[in-house]
Amino acid sequence: MKVAVWDTNVTKKEGTVMHFDILAPDEIKDTAVILKYCKSYIKTKGQEEQPLASKECTFCHIETLQPNWEADIINQGYFIIEMENCNQ
């Protein structure tokens, strides 16, 4: 399976930028679906009220599925790779 990597940046309530990648099956092309995944994730970080649009979440590239991503992708449709300022 191939997964699409969506590079995502969300400005947190305190002003820092949360940077993370959303990995989803590569057949998902609808940005609205990816934004839904993003909203679900940022809610877990207490940032659900932050503005989010397609400019904050852009397609980056295609990767080969790694075993440690598979369970989350099967269960919730996506996997998150936290990169910067993702702590609450």
41 touches 21 (CB < 8 A): no
pLDDT tens readout for residues 49-60:
998 877 889 999
Give phi and psi for 75, each to the nearest 5: -80, -40
Q: Where are the domains of the chain?
A: 1-6+26-58+65-78
pLDDT tens readout for residues 18-74:
999 999 999 999 999 999 999 999 999 999 999 887 788 999 999 999 999 999 999
